[in-house]
Every structure is written in C-alpha cells, then in structure tokens.
Amino acid sequence: MVGNGSRKYRLCIVVQLALLCGTIAQRASGQEYVTRPFVSTWQPDADQSASNNDSTEPIRPEVLKATLPQPPLADLDAGTPPMFRLPIDPPLGFTGKTGIRPSECQQSSDFVPMEDRWRAGFPAWDRYDKGHPPVDDYPYSEGHWWDPYNQNVLKGDYPIVGQHTFLAITATTDMLLEARQVPTPAHGFESTGNPFDPNFFGNGSQFFYSQNYKLGIELSHGDAAFKPTDWRVKLMPVFNVNYLTVAELGVVNPDVTEGMSRGRDYLALEEWFAERKLADTSPYFDFVSARIGSQPFVSDFRGFLFADNNRAVRLFGTRLANRDQFNILFFSQLEKDTNSDLNTFNDRGQNVLIANYYRQDFIVPGYTTEFSFHYNHDKESFHYDDNDFLVRPDPAGVFTPHQIDAYYFGWAGDGHIGRLNVSHAFYYVFGNDDLNPIAGRPIHIDAKMAALELSYDRDWVRFRTSFFYASGDHDINSDTATGFDTILDAPNFAGGKFSYWQRQQIKLQGVNLVNRFSLVPDLRSSKAEGQSNFVNPGLELVNFGIDFDVTQKLRLISNVNFLWFDSTNVLEQFTFQADIHRFIGTDLSLGAEYRPFLNNNAIIEAGIAGLVPGIGFQDLYNNSDGNVSTQVAGFLNMSLTY
C-alpha cells in the first residue's frame, strides 16, 4: 500500500511539472490564455477561437461568455501582448458610490490593482435556473437601496467614505396592542362611572395602544469583524403615539372630568452619544473605549437591577483576548415621559454609578460569571407625572421629600455546565433612606435578592424551572428596612413580558403593588419616575416552564408561576387590615414569537396570561360580595425594522 501511494504521488508531480513546462513555453512564444471565467477579448489563435464558438455544448453559467475590455491600442501597435484584465462585474447588494479615489494604474499582468476591496464584483449566478424568485435561498443576490435583507451601504455593509467609515440607518416601527384586566377602584376621587355600585373595586377592563417610530443614524469608523470600532456617533429620535381607554373614572387622571380615555403623543431624542476607542491594550485586539451621551445599558444578564436608556458616561473594554469584559458607568438620569417612557430633557435629580466585570469560561467552559457594584443616589424632590398624579414622594404615609443612598453588591452567572443551562443572580443592598414614607422615619437598608434558573434542552424542547426571592420587611416599626427593591429593573425571567404578574401594573391605594415589567412588589408609585422603597412585602416565586421551537421561525413559551409574599406585615399596616395571607396566586401564561424571515427585521409576539387569585390577593382586592375574579390579559406586539 505504501508503494502504490508513492507511485501515485510521483505521478502527480510529473503531471504538474508537465503543465508548468507548457505554461512557460506558452509565455515564451508570446501567447497568453486566460482561464475561465475570466476570458480575454484577445485570441492568439483564430482557428481555436472558432472551434470554441462552434461547440454544440452550451456554456453555463452565462458569465463564462463575458469578455474583457480591449487592450489599449498602444499595446497592439507596439506588438506587445496585452495585460491581463478582470471583467467588471457588479458587487452584491446596494453599494452606493465608491469613496476610494484610484491612486495607481495596472503595470503588468501579474498584479491587478483593486483599491476598493469592499466592492469587488461577483459574476451573475442563477443557482437553480429559476430567475431568482424571492422565496428561494439564492447566494450572491443583487440588491436595491430599499432592500434591507441583502447587503446595503445604508445599513453599514459597505463603507460610505474610504475603506473604514460606515453609515448605518435603522428605521423601526413598533406597535403594541394590549387588552387587560387589573383591579380598579369603582369610586374615583370625586365621582364614579357606575352609580349605586356597592363594590369598592369595579370594572377593571382596559385597552392600551402604543406605536413607536424610531430612526437610528450611526456613523462609525473601523472594522468590527476584526477589531473594535475606532469611533462611533449615533442619534436616534423616537416618535410615540399612545392611547388608553378604561371603564372607571379617576384612572387616566385624578380629575374625573377628564373621562375614561386618554390619547398622547411625544417626540424624544432617545439615543445620542459619541464613542471613542482610547487604547489597544494587547495584540489580541483588547481595548479601552469611552462613550458619552444617552445610551442603552443592562447591568446584568437578566435585567434584575438596572435596565435603561439614559444619559451617562461609560468606560468599557476587554482583557485577556476578550475573555474578560468590564464596564464603569455614571448615569445622570433624565426624567421620563409618563405615557411613553421616553426620555425628556429635564434632569431627574438621580445619579447611578455602576461597575461590573465579566469572566468567560469561569471554572468550566461555557459558563460566564459577573461581579458588580451599583450605587443609587436619589435626591429629594417633589414631582407630579404628566397625568397629574403625585409620584415623588410616594403618596403614602408622610408626603415629605426624602433622599435615598443605596449600595448594591452583586454576583450573577449565565451559561451552561455540560448539558445543563444555568442562570443565577444574587444581590445584597445596604444604605439609608432619610425619611421613608410608609415607615414615617429614617431607616437603614439591609435587604437581599436571589434568583436561579435551570433548564435542559431536549431536541426542539427546553424544560425550565426557576426560583426568585426578594426579602420583605418583617417589622414596619423597625429602624432597619429589609424589603428588597431595584433601581430600574426589566427582568427577563420566569416568563418575563409574557407573565401577567410582571407585565401588569397593579395599583394599591395610591401606589403600585407591583410595577409594569417588574417582579418586586415594592409599593412604589412609579418604577420610572418614583423612588425605591425598601419597606415592602417582598416576593417568593417558583416557576415551571417549557419552550417549544416549533419551527425555525416559530417559538412557543409556556410558564406557570406560584407567587407568595415574603412577609405581609407591611401590607397589614398599610391597608389597616389584619391577617393577610402570603399566597398571592398562580400566574399562567402562553406566548409566541414569530420571525417570518429568520432574522430580527420582522418580529411578531403575542401572549395571553392570567392570574388566578390566591388567598392573599383576595384579602387585598376583595369586594363586598367576596368575589375576586381571575385577572386576564393579552397582547400583540409587531416590530418591523429596516
């Protein structure tokens, strides 16, 4: 076998040497042929050219019939062979005009200069001989300026200036339709929409519509496929239209003459920042960069503590060949528009300092850990929201402005250990609130939070279970508050936006038992405009869920959550009601995510969820007839992006 292999190897060498000798002899005779698909118009042998044209076998693809430009007349007059030239094929997608001015001419057949390396052409290719129908997967697709699905200079696939400066324009329309039931007092501040109704809680039906139109314009320099961006500038204005209709007075505004519906619109400059790379710190493209302006940031894997888009100075980078990442941010918070949650240009009077450090492949491959520190300095202020409700200080207990200084230390992780997916977080917070409204005194903060999710993938199904704990305040008369609260959370956990408990804002006597897109029952007037409150009942949650990847485009998400208050002492004092049970209820949800084009350019999400009231929820929202019905909500969210 060794001998046969050696003979084959020697035979290959002989064939290659023979081809090389033929090529050398051809060049010495002054004749040069160009291998297809690059065919020159100059044919040294007319008879051979005729025989090629007379061939009955069709030449495919058609690009093989293409010809090169004629050589300059000066070359023919001098009797010298023409230089090898490439055919001019169009690049893929919509490229726009080149930003490269030619600086050198071709001098020989051995080197063909192509200075704009991004706009190299590709020959036409109809893979299936179908004429490029839009529903088939075709490589090397030509594009148009309005086509965001193929390469396009307007979305940063080709440089707009030179070789390294890119423009990315992103246009998004995001529509939300939501119908929901939430406990709603039947008697407004001065009047009621249903006279002679003996129940305290009335018709909780609501319908909400919101539409965001976003235009992102980003100019950057660099080549992020190989190294971090050298600099970046971004602007993103957002125009929002929203409408709310309810079935009771005093919901859209304290003034009952405002009726039971409200329509608003708002224009905001949501993102505006400049970014600059300060230094390369290793041969492996590790770097340190700075970003200044209004920018999005989520401080941990699941958004448990801080997730916002706001005014900040950020220092960030990587270490050890991108194995470690770090962030240091200082936020000077802007006030939020009440109905759209977009930024205004008014100062909020709140500063947030965040530092975190990520380590990939920590202990085991595939698992990333994070250590973090958060500092929330929320100054005393007096503020009514855009619907004329008092949100700072909380309209509960003493109505006196107060300052909060809270320090959070956290450890989180996300990844997999073998076949088991793991996500967890733990936070400990301490500090001071110089006059808590519910406690009616200065308090020391001493609270904690823990979360754990375990999941296992079996073919197209993911099985999940999770646990969440936020400590509650067990003694409202103590000088130490042990109820955990966040800064500005948006958790993607235990069902996230599909969960009734997390998605809905459930009011309770002027504050919220739980805020919209939050987990913690913190008795806070508003998540975006109110202040953290560490005198709250806390939460214990146990979750079971199954995710189904029905197709590559469609995913179903199902969850069951069991909810308990950690302590009801605060609720009993706040509502002047004894013996409130800890069990809140059972949260059932089913959601769907559909991506018709297998990308994020079109996303359709829909969900339906319900809260089956437990004894504790019934104690809080019980009517005179002793009945608290199951609360149901559904939504449809469609996002289209160019």
- pLDDT tens digits for range 118-146: 888 877 777 778 877 766 767 777 778 88
Task: For 466-530, give the DSSP string.
Answer: EEEEE---S-TTSSEE-----SB-----TTGGG-HHHHS-EEETTEEEE-TT------BS-TTTS
Structural tokens at position 587? 């949260």
Q: Which residue has the higher pLDDT, 17 or 442?
A: 442
Task: For 305-363, give the DSSP string.
Answer: SBEEEEEEEEEEEEETTTTEEEEEEEEEEEEEPTTT--EEEEEEEEEEEEEEEEETT-S
Beta pairing partners, 152? 94
Q: Which residue has the higher pLDDT, 259 or 77?
A: 259
Length of the chain: 642
pLDDT, position 45 = 40
| Residue 336 φ then ψ, to 5° | -100, 145
CA distances 582 to 95, 436, 468, 539, 540, Å, are 62, 24, 15, 9, 10
pLDDT, position 136 = 72
Mean pLDDT of 189-214: 80
The three-class DSSP label of residue 448 is strand
The answer to whether residues 581 and 616 touch, using CB atoms and an 8 Å cutoff, is yes
Give the least confident one: 84-88, 355-359, 406-410. Answer: 84-88
Q: What is the C-alpha separation between 260 and 362, in angstroms, rounded?
A: 54
pLDDT of residue 197 exceeding 80: no
pLDDT, position 321 = 93
Q: What is the C-alpha separation between 334 and 355, in angstroms, rounded?
A: 20
Give the least confident one: 22-31, 143-152, 305-314. Answer: 22-31
Structural tokens at position 169? 């324009």
Give the least confident one: 102-111, 134-143, 198-207, 462-471. Answer: 134-143
Give the least confident one: 19-33, 276-290, 316-330, 488-502. Answer: 19-33
The answer to whether residues 581 and 575 touch, using CB atoms and an 8 Å cutoff, is no
The three-class DSSP label of residue 12 is helix
pLDDT, position 92 = 84
Alpha-carbon torsion 288, 290, 291, 296, what sign?
A: positive
Q: What is the C-alpha separation between 265 and 340, in angstroms, rounded?
A: 8
Mean pLDDT of 461-475: 97
Q: Which among 133, 12, 124 has a CA at the least distance from the CA of 60?
A: 124
Q: Is 26 left (phi over 0), alpha (psi -120 to 50) or beta?
A: alpha
The three-class DSSP label of residue 153 is coil
Q: Which among 572, 396, 543 has a CA at the least distance from the CA of 468?
A: 543
pLDDT, position 87 = 73
The three-class DSSP label of residue 387 is coil
pLDDT, position 189 = 56
337-369: per-residue pLDDT in tens? 999 999 999 999 999 999 999 999 999 999 999
pLDDT, position 58 = 52
CA distances 120 to 40, 71, 222, Å, are 19, 21, 19
Q: Which residue has the higher pLDDT, 609 or 37?
A: 609
Give the least confident one: 88-102, 163-177, 227-241, 418-432. Answer: 88-102
Q: What band does 190 get if pLDDT is binned at 50, 70 and 90?
A: low
* pLDDT cut 70: percent of the chain above it: 84
The answer to whether residues 73 and 122 touch, using CB atoms and an 8 Å cutoff, is no
Eight-state DSSP code of residue 14 = H
Task: For 421-434, give the DSSP string.
Answer: EEEEEEEEEEEEEE
pLDDT, position 123 = 78
Mean pLDDT of 80-108: 80
Q: Which residue has the higher pLDDT, 12 or 557?
A: 557
pLDDT of residue 195 exceeding 70: no
Q: Which among 444, 425, 420, 448 has a CA at the least distance from the CA of 434?
A: 444
Q: What is the C-alpha separation between 372 and 116, in angstroms, rounded?
A: 44
Q: Compute the mean pLDDT over every residue in the chain, rounded to the nearest whole number.
A: 86
Mean pLDDT of 52-67: 47
Q: What band does 19 get if pLDDT is binned at 50, 70 and 90?
A: very low
Q: What band does 626 get if pLDDT is binned at 50, 70 and 90?
A: low
Mean pLDDT of 518-526: 96
pLDDT of residue 524 exceeding 70: yes
Mean pLDDT of 453-473: 97
Alpha-carbon torsion 111, 114, 115, 120, what sign?
A: negative
The answer to whether residues 226 and 285 touch, using CB atoms and an 8 Å cutoff, is yes
pLDDT, position 8 = 45
pLDDT of residue 47 exceeding 60: no
Q: What is the C-alpha separation between 208 and 341, in angstroms, rounded?
A: 14
Q: What band does 4 get if pLDDT is binned at 50, 70 and 90?
A: very low
Q: What is the C-alpha separation between 525 and 394, in angstroms, rounded?
A: 5
Residues 6 or more apart whose CB falls under 8 angstroms from that of 70 comprise: 41, 42
Rg (CA), the chain: 33
Give the least confident one: 1-5, 434-438, 622-626. Answer: 1-5
pLDDT, position 346 = 96
Mean pLDDT of 477-503: 96
322-339: per-residue pLDDT in tens? 999 999 999 999 999 999
pLDDT of residue 196 exceeding 90: no
pLDDT, position 328 = 98
pLDDT, position 15 = 43
Q: What is the C-alpha separation between 520 and 574, in angstroms, rounded?
A: 17
pLDDT of residue 544 exceeding 50: yes
pLDDT, position 191 = 61
The three-class DSSP label of residue 626 is coil
CA angle 364, 367, 368 (to 5 degrees): 125
Q: Which among 530, 533, 189 has a CA at the least distance from the CA of 382?
A: 530
Q: CA neighbours within 13 Å on the CB side: how many for 594?
A: 10
pLDDT, position 424 = 98
Q: What is the largest CA-CA distance in the chain?
A: 110
Mean pLDDT of 607-612: 98
Give the least confident one: 83-87, 315-319, 465-469, 530-534. Answer: 83-87
| Residue 346 φ then ψ, to 5° | -95, 140
